[in-house]
């Protein structure tokens, strides 16, 4: 690669949000680092039993605490070990692209919160709170959300089909409705054992039902053969980026703020992230001129931008795009021949505005333009069982639909997913249940509808309560809850706080979030983990946690923090 | 990279088995390729309804048949479409490393077998067999293997914990034993909802039980914090290769024949495969001198070989390594500072010899050498719920254990897996059940033991029946079944068969396997998909399919094939 281009790429990359590499730390127990120098045996030679290096731990996980001081001590300590041993792999010779990847959602704060949780379980008394609230990640069932009964009843029969030999017991003693039993039989006939591999791109019968769902949702036909089941949407994103990115010049437009899956995956692939800022002043919508500017800058720097990522509704922002914004993006994609990656996993988590799919608008544009000028716009849209009212993220299910993709490229996508064999089959079944839930009049409908509505209303109420609290907090600005599972308030912190943060080698938002965790047990993610406009500070919190006590503790903490640093 | 090194790498890569890129084909319906040229609308503008390109298919999947002639016609046809359209992505500009990857286990033959299956379902009458036998992939539950009752009973309760409110019904009407209920409660208490994300490297409570299993198995301590749950062993291999391979000079020693996950993953990572031949004359064991030669050649070519892959018991060979062979590999790894990747997913599928883990031998070597010279040998060993008597591949569960790895490197592994959030939690629970099954004296033990033994004996019987058939076949040589789920016979084909194959652009083994499929419905994988010594020909077949009819049909086909080409 020419030096000029190489420098240009560096520049383009430099524009990336400084998603905190320092946010990331080591999830291992301190004692495991003890006598780990190599060359001196860690084994008691008489028994083969080990010194602490090999010690078997039956106690709950104790994760090393990273206060600022011990953190750097620990790194120094590890470093010393690494350089004095003769292991083949060390931090300086492993894959540099993995090393460069940043993923703050499960970074230092998350690790520390788990440490607090373990300490509370052990009954440690000097912790100023009684529970840890994991508001850092959209993990509904870890918090209050109950799974939907119909879904889980069907899955119980798929896991143990022998139960179907006792239909009377299921119905008369266990409250299973007949449609639960019928659905389970349909799966067993059309998908087979959930313990067997399916086709690499997913069970055909399930893909057909997804296509029917998309037809109902969008009012346009869908082809089941263009649908690929995946282990959550993350796995789908991984597949698509692997196909699209050919080399380090390959660029992908990514919204800022963004869910860091995108920047982390691009880092691992050694491709180029081309960031474009969302417009906070317009409810975090897309601004087509901003996108065009980012694209042009990257082009001038020699980047071969190939695709644009849109997260709609937004993560971390919750914003739903208007049809006008979607049209503008599709028109731009057409002009510049960009693949559109529409991450639509929050499509049912909408409180303000409405969800409009990219597929629907693209088909509408095709319909309005019989000259066929939109027929070559390639769209991949992703959905998931992890979010919405389903909230089954532990089951790792999702799918993506390809529109207007080249058949030869699709064959390569099929090959790529076949190397990992197939998505978890029980997760595939949950995708089917999500897109094909009980219908009005069917025996399980009433309960399903009640549970679904209850989850939706519960989320909205908690979002509003949290929003109300933020409105009372000095220096905090937060628009009304729009959707997804998150609020992403701006925090205006006093200069003294920024100074204290700098002393600890942290950004002010990281510093604030760490202090919040240490004081209240509430774990949130600093805005720097998603990217934010220079000079602005945010944090992302889910509104999934039940109760109001934790919200009160945030308000109290914030007041004390401001008093201390004002 | 210097031109000399670049050429050397090409040479090193050239030594790769010619795992058939041509074996790979397009899993899409022919009709979907119809009017796919872009620029001319595929839409009926009055309705937004589509021409065939967008047609919704509710019929079973019909996959385009690739006889040799239509195959090339089809590719030409696609090619024309690709070049005449203005889609952004085409086969020539996507990720070239994905394109270069080969994965024959689910390639052309598998696709064609699914097409036959669909045609039989539709009642097509001109097919010379009545069922398709998928002997191409170890997918036990697609064939005869029943899941283990205890496992599935526990999973049914994890999917629907509300059933635990009816313990009496479970016990008195549905035959659940008390230990099923106790185990389910343990999971719900220690892991939580299977619908929630776990820790990225897996639920701590499950990792602790895996460590205890490893201690029992090997007689040496294991540290639960060095254990990482994964979505099947494939995902674990993907993680480890991502960490180890830093650039295209990074080399990995891979056995030939091998399960093509390794070569495919290295291709995608653009790293270098350093193949070493297994010794068919010694029951497919490792020959340390052959390994040393391969290593030296790669070194001379400028390859930075960092790790050695061992598949034990072997895939596709079934061979179990002796302790002597394992010691030799570990000693070589120590000398050359190679990470050892021990793929041990078939550890319970052993008919001849015994399974000895790399971990046990490494710890034994450490014990015997108090000077600590083995303390820096880094070992990653992988296991899975997909194989063995568990056979739950559709649930995508597995784990790997790291031994002697640098803590900083482990932190990067943790970060890497956290980007995809976590392995499927129900699959994690199956890993726990696999390593911690009912014990003698517990209520479910008797049935568990009976089922487990039944599956094992059934596999052995079918392997022996198949082997006996191979012994009768002219020009076929096959050692006694050793383990895994496969036989890998040598086939000596007449020159006329090789000529006929060449005319179709196929290797002789591909040609033979295609003819076998077309005549009998039995789908196997040609040896070229795994790599084989130049001049030798093989195929891999599972011995999972029930009944003897399919074995008879192979014998009959072979005789006719030999008569035709002799």
Q: Kindly determine whether residue B57 and residue A225, on different chains, have CB atoms separated by under 8 Å.
A: yes
Q: In this predicted structure, which of A243-247, A535-539, B6-10, B350-354 has the lowest mean pLDDT?
A: B6-10
- Distance of alpha carbon A378 from its chain centroid, rounded? 23
Residue B154 gets the label, from left (phi > 0), alpha (psi -120 to 50) or beta, of alpha
| Residues B165 and B135 grouped into a single domain | no
Q: Note whether A510 and A23 are within 8 A (CB).
A: yes
The string of pLDDT tens digits covering residues A140-160 is: 999 879 999 999 999 999 999
The pLDDT of residue A248 is above 90: yes
Spatial distance between the Cα atoms of A140 and A545, rounded to a whole number of angstroms: 8
The answer as to whether B303 is a domain residue is yes
Residue A85's pLDDT band, with cuts at 50, 70 and 90, is low
Q: How far is CA B494 from CA A351, B391, B474, B498, B512, in A?
A: 71, 38, 11, 7, 11
Partner-chain residue, chosen from B192, B394, B409, that has the shortest CB–CB distance to A94: B409
Which residues have a Cβ under 8 Å from the Cβ of A410 and sit 6 or more positions away?
A: A226, A402, B26, B28
**Do B291 and B424 sit in the same domain of this protein?**
yes
Q: Give the per-residue pLDDT at A386.
A: 97
Same domain membership, residue B266 and residue B250: yes
Q: Is the pLDDT of residue B8 over 60?
A: no
Half-sphere exposure for B16 (CA within 13 Å, toward CB): 24
Q: Are residues B164 and B261 in the same domain?
A: no
Task: Among A160, A308, A451, pick the best mutation site for testing chain B contact (most B Cβ within 10 A).
Answer: A160
* Residue B442 within a domain: no
Residues in B closer than 8 angstroms to A396, CB to CB, are: 231, 396, 421-424
Residues A382 and A420 in one domain: yes
Q: How large is the average pLDDT for residues B540-561? A: 93
Domain CATH number, residue B457: 3.90.1150.10
Encode pLDDT of B455-476 as tens digits: 999 999 999 999 999 999 999 9
A407-419 and A232-244 helices, crossing angle to 10°: 130
Stretch B477-486: mean pLDDT, rounded? 93
What 3-state DSSP class applies to B551? helix
Share of chain A above pLDDT 90, in %: 79
What's the pLDDT score for residue B107?
79
State pLDDT tens for residues A541-559: 999 998 888 999 999 999 9
Shared domain check, B107 and B94: no
> What's the whole-number average pLDDT of chain A?
86
ipTM of the complex: 0.87
Predicted pLDDT at A379: 98
From CA B430, how far away is CA A529, in angstroms rounded?
34
Q: Which sign does the torsion angle of CA B20, B21, B27, B28 carry?
A: negative
Among A53-57, A202-206, A472-476, B314-318, the range scoring the smallest mean pLDDT is A53-57
Q: Which of A31-35, A421-425, B432-436 has the lowest mean pLDDT?
A: A31-35
The DSSP bridge pattern shows strands B398-403 and B227-230 to be antiparallel
Exposed, middle or buried: residue B393 (CB in 10 Å: 0-12, 13-18, 19+)? Answer: buried
Mean pLDDT of B219-239: 97
CB contact under 8 Å between B424 and A395, yes or no, is: yes
Assigned domain for B446 exists: no
| Cβ–Cβ contact A264 with B under 8 A | yes
**Domain identity same for A414 and A357:** yes
Q: What residue numbers bound the domain in which A53 lies? A: 25-101
- List chain B residues with CB under 8 Å of A88: 306-307, 337-339, 376, 378
| Among A237, A218, A212, A215, CA closest to A356 | A218
- Give the residue from B54, B99, B49 showing the smallest Cα distance to A247: B99
- The answer to whether residue A136 neighbours chain B at the CB level (below 8 Å) is no
* Residue-by-residue DSSP string for B431-491: HHHHHS-PPTTSTTHHHHHHHHHHHHHHHHHHHHHHHHHHHHSTTEE-PPP-BTTEE--EE
| β B539-542/B250-256 pair status | unpaired
Residue A135 lies in a domain: no
Predicted structure pTM score: 0.87
Which of A86, A106, A423 is nearest residue B337 as measured by Cβ atoms? A86
Q: How far is B383 from chain A (nearest CA, A)?
A: 15
Q: For chain B, give the percent of residues with pLDDT over 70.
A: 85
For residue A121, pLDDT beyond 90:
no
Show Cβ contacts of residue B279 under 8 Å, excluding neighbours closer than 6 positions: B285, B286, B287, B290
**Strand pairing partners for A325?**
none
B2: in domain: no
Q: Report the alpha-carbon distance of residue B487 to residue B482 in Å, rounded.
A: 8
Out of B136, B166, B187, pick the residue that ends a domain.
B187
Please tell me the distance from the alpha carbon of residue A230 to that of residue A343, in angstroms, as a whole number: 13
- B contact residues 148-187, partner A, Cβ 8 Å cutoff: 149, 152-153, 155-163, 166, 169, 173-174
Mean pLDDT, range A482-494, rounded to an integer? 94
Nearest to B202 by CA among B229, B226, B220: B229
Q: Is the bond preceding B197 in cis, omega lying within 30 degrees of 0?
A: no
Closest CA to A552 of A493, A472, A452: A472
- Mutual orientation of helices A3-14 and A288-300 as an angle, nearest 10°? 150
CB pairs under 8 A between A and B: 460
Question: A17 falls in which pLDDT band (50, 70, 90)?
Answer: very low
**Test the B interface: residue of A42, A94, A165, A379 with most B CBs within 10 Å:** A94
Number of domains in chain A: 4
How far, in Å, CA of B417 to CA of A300, rounded? 35
Residue A494: pLDDT band with limits 50, 70, 90: very high
- Please state the length of chain B: 566
SS (HEC) of A302-357:
CCEEEEEEEECCCCCCCCCCCHHHHHHHHHHHHHHCCEEEEECCCCCCECCCCCCC
Give yes or no for B86 touching A (CB within 8 A): yes
On whether both A255 and A400 belong to a single domain, the answer is: yes
* Residue A522: closest CA among A145, A129, A260, A259: A129
Check whether residue A404 and residue A536 sit in a common domain. Answer: no
Return the bridge partners of A217, or none: none
Rounded-to-integer distance, Cα B231 and Cα B396, Å: 5
Looking at residues A351-367, what average pLDDT do you find? 96
- Of A70, A85, A101, the domain-final residue: A101
Q: How far is A184 from B506, CA to CA, in rounded Å? A: 44
| β partners of residue A501 | none
**Residue A194 contacts B where some CB pair is shorter than 8 Å:** yes
- From the list B140, B174, B420, the residue facing A234 with the nearest CB is B420
pLDDT at residue number B22: 25
Residue B50 pLDDT > 90: no
Interatomic CA distance for residues A221 and A217, integer angstroms: 10
More confident of the two residues B68 and A476: A476
Which region among A292-296, A488-492, B107-111, B274-278 has the lowest average model confidence (pLDDT)? Answer: B107-111
pLDDT for residue A51: 31
Domain shared by B469 and B545, yes or no: yes
Question: Residues B80, B140: one domain?
Answer: no
Cα–Cα distance for residue pair B533/B426, rounded to 1 Å = 41
Tell me whether the omega of the peptide bond preceding residue A257 falls within 30 degrees of 0, making it cis.
Answer: yes
List, as one string, the DSSP characters of B83-128: HHS--S--TTTS-HHHHH---GGGSHHHHHHHHHHHHHHTT-S--S
**SS3 per-residue string spanning A252-266:** EEEEECCCCHHHHHH
Average pLDDT, whole number, for chain B? 86
Nearest-angstrom CA–CA distance, B513 and B539 = 8
Do residue A103 and residue B198 have CB atoms under 8 angstroms apart?
A: no
Is residue B52 within 8 Å of residue B35, measured between CB atoms? yes
Q: Is residue A131 part of a domain?
A: no
Compare CB distances from B421 to A50, A234, A405 and report the shortest one's residue. Answer: A234
> Residue B401: its chain A contacts at CB < 8 A?
none
Interface test with B, best of A159, A242, A387 (most B CBs within 10 A): A159
**A125 near B CB under 8 A:** no
What is the per-residue pLDDT across B389-440, written as a single tens digit (0 to 9) for each? 999 999 999 999 999 999 999 999 999 999 999 999 999 999 999 999 999 9
* Beta strands per DSSP E along A398-504: 398-403, 476-477, 486-487, 490-491
H-type helices in B160-303, by residue range?
167-172, 178-190, 204-218, 232-244, 261-269, 288-300
pLDDT value at residue B489: 95
Report pLDDT digits (tens) over B81-130: 444 458 999 999 999 999 999 987 777 898 899 889 889 988 888 999 99
Give the residue from A413, A435, A457 where a domain finishes: A435
Mean pLDDT of A381-401: 97
The pLDDT tens digits for B367-395 are 999 999 999 999 999 999 999 999 999 99
Which of helix, strand or coil describes residue B334?
helix
Whether residues B412 and A94 touch (CB distance < 8 A) is answered with yes
Strand-pair category, B525-526 with B539-542: antiparallel
Q: Examine the pLDDT at A8 and tell me if it is beyond 60.
A: no
Interface list for A 366-405 with B (CB within 8 A): 366-367, 369-373, 375-376, 378, 391-396, 404-405
Other C-beta atoms within 10 Å of B10: how many?
Answer: 11
Residues A228 and A374 in one domain: yes
Q: Is residue B302 part of a domain?
A: yes
What pLDDT, on the 0 to 100 scale, is given for residue B85? 54
Is B357 a residue whose pLDDT tops 80? Answer: yes
Please check whether residue A325 lies inside any domain of the structure.
Answer: yes
């Amino acid at each position: 690669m020419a030096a000029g281009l190489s420098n240009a790429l560096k520049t383009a990359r430099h524009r990336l949000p400084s998603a905190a590499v320092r946010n990331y730390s080591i999830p291992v127990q301190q004692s495991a680092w003890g006598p780990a120098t190599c060359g001196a045996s860690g084994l008691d030679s008489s028994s083969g039993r080990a010194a602490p290096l090999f010690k078997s731990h039956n106690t709950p996980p104790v994760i090393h605490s990273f206060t600022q001081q011990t953190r750097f001590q620990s790194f120094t300590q590890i470093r010393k070990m690494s350089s004095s041993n003769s292991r083949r792999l060390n931090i300086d010779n492993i894959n540099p692209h993995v090393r460069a990847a940043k993923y703050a959602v499960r970074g230092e704060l998350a690790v520390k919160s788990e440490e607090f949780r373990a300490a509370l379980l052990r009954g440690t008394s000097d912790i100023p709170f009684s529970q840890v609230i994991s508001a850092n990640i959209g993990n509904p069932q870890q918090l209050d959300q109950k799974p939907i009964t119909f879904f889980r009843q069907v899955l119980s029969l798929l896991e143990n089909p022998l139960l179907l030999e006792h239909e009377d017991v299921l119905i008369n003693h266990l409250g299973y409705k007949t449609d639960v039993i019928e659905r389970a039989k349909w799966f067993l006939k059309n998908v087979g054992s959930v313990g067997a591999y399916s086709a690499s791109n997913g069970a055909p019968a399930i893909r057909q039902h997804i296509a029917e769902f998309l037809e109902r949702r969008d009012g346009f036909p869908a082809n089941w053969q263009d649908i690929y089941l995946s282990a959550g949407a993350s796995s789908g994103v991984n597949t698509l980026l692997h196909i699209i990115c050919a080399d380090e010049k390959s660029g992908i437009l990514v919204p800022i703020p963004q869910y860091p899956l995108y920047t982390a995956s691009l880092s691992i692939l050694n491709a180029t992230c081309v960031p474009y800022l969302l417009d906070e002043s317009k409810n975090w919508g897309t601004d087509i001129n901003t996108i065009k500017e980012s694209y042009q800058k990257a082009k001038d720097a020699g980047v071969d931008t190939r695709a644009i990522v849109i997260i709609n509704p937004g993560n971390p922002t919750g914003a739903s795009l208007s049809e006008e914004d979607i049209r503008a993006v599709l028109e731009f994609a057409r002009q510049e021949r960009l693949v559109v990656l529409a991450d639509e996993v929050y499509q049912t988590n909408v409180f303000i505005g409405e969800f409009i799919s990219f597929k629907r608008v693209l088909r509408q544009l095709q319909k309005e333009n019989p000259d066929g000028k939109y027929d070559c716009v390639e769209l991949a849209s992703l959905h998931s069982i992890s979010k919405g009212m389903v909230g089954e993220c532990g089951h790792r299910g999702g799918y993506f639909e390809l529109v207007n993709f080249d058949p030869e490229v699709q064959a390569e996508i099929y090959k790529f997913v076949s190397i990992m064999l197939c998505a978890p089959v029980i997760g595939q079944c949950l995708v089917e249940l999500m897109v094909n839930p009980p219908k009005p009049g069917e025996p399980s409908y009433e309960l399903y509808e009640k549970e679904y509505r209850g989850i939706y209303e519960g989320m909205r109420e908690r979002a509003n309560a949290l929003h109300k609290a933020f409105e009372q907090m000095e220096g905090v600005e937060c628009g009304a809850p729009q959707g997804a599972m998150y609020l992403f308030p701006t925090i205006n912190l006093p200069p003294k706080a920024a100074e204290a943060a700098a002393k600890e080698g942290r950004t002010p938002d990281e510093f604030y979030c760490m202090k919040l965790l240490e004081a209240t047990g509430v774990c949130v993610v600093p805005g720097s983990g998603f990217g934010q406009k220079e000079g602005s500070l945010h944090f992302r919190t889910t509104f999934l946690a039940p109760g109001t006590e934790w919200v009160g503790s945030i308000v109290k903490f914030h007041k004390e923090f401001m008093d201390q640093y004002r």
